[in-house]
Structure 1
């Protein structure tokens, strides 16, 4: 069962969230919802450069996605990267390099991407790396959602408020927290797709 420290709940409802970090616990696992950290973009760039400097790197593009890529948005301190490769099969030969960097495969149930994660170390955030085929790069919803948020500050505020509200609800699992954001995210993605000239999303499976 998730639980939230009582003093954090008091801060949540008093509107003073930006001065602290919400922590939700389940056994030994901790999820942080932290105020925006202006160091996150540099952390992304350092990781991007490290990946691209590896021998035989198959990545054509690497971008910062997720909440840490949106200025001013509260987020779990996990740097999400999305990379493109001509073919996903090319990633297999690069697995030893990813392992050297501390990345481990993640099973997200995806059929058309490969995902890897690196746990947080002292003084460093955790990282997630999502690798997709280059032919799908321009249509990836994570990129469109990021750009939509960056150009719509009011939506950022609404999204941040939703995150705080859900964090205070003591939801049973991480999946419940993620699912509870789904309706808002899908709605905004459809708006982003329309604004960027993309067809409406009818199949959310990947």
Structure 2
């Protein structure tokens, strides 16, 4: 089992995202529509596991499978859909992961879900603080059990995602 390590926000996470975004742009080229920074490292002042989550949006998800070798060349292991239809998932860093890449085709509903959650927490500091405290509590409670840590966040995330999606749609 991987160790659960939640750390205070690090200003360098934004730079790490920008560097990795440039690498993904070089790999995917014209297939790419955009690359978003998602997850807790994208939320200022948020405590997080120090893993940069990126969400590349592509024109055609089926073409992403042709880039597995190029992704491996920049350190990524391709994991296919990994339980989420319409997504391609890559991870970097082995057991000491540094990056997760969640690729979706333009228009996929999960894009809005991820962006709504991120933007909602960026705009609602009290909810972001509550989430950070929950993550820190779970990491202390389950330091060697990533599954229990993830399960402990699940209800809070699902509830907040629904609130965030309604909020996000009102912003548009």
TM-score, normalised with respect to structure 2: 0.88
Specify the alignment match of 2:98 in structure 1: 126
Runs (4+) off by over 6 Å: none
Match of 2:127 among 129, 150, 155: 155
Residues 1:138 and 1:184: Cα distance change in structure 2 (over 3 Å)? closer
Please tell me whether residue 91 in structure 1 is matched to residue 64 in structure 2: yes
CA contact (8 A) 1:84 1:137 kept: no
Q: Extract unaligned runs of 5+ from structure 2.
A: none
Largest Rg, 1 or 2: 1
Secondary structure, aligned partner of 1:196: helix
Structure 2 counterpart of 1:37: 10
| DSSP-derived class of the 1:111 partner | coil
**Structure-to-structure mapping, 1:1-206, within 5 angstroms:** 26=1, 29-54=2-27, 56=29, 58-106=31-79, 108-119=82-93, 126-136=98-108, 139-170=111-142, 173-197=145-169
Q: How far 1:106 moved relative to its partner?
A: 2.6
Which has a greater percent of helix? 2
How does the TM-score come out when normalised to structure 1? 0.75
What do residues 76-96 of structure 1 show as CA deviations (whole Å, max 9, x unaligned)? 000000011111111122222
RCO higher in structure (CA 8 A, sep ≥6): 2
Number of equivalent positions = 169
* Runs (5+) with no aligned partner, structure 1: 1-25, 199-206
Q: Residues of 1 paired with 2:25 and 2:111: CA distance? A: 23
Supply the RMSD in Å over aligned alpha carbons: 2.3
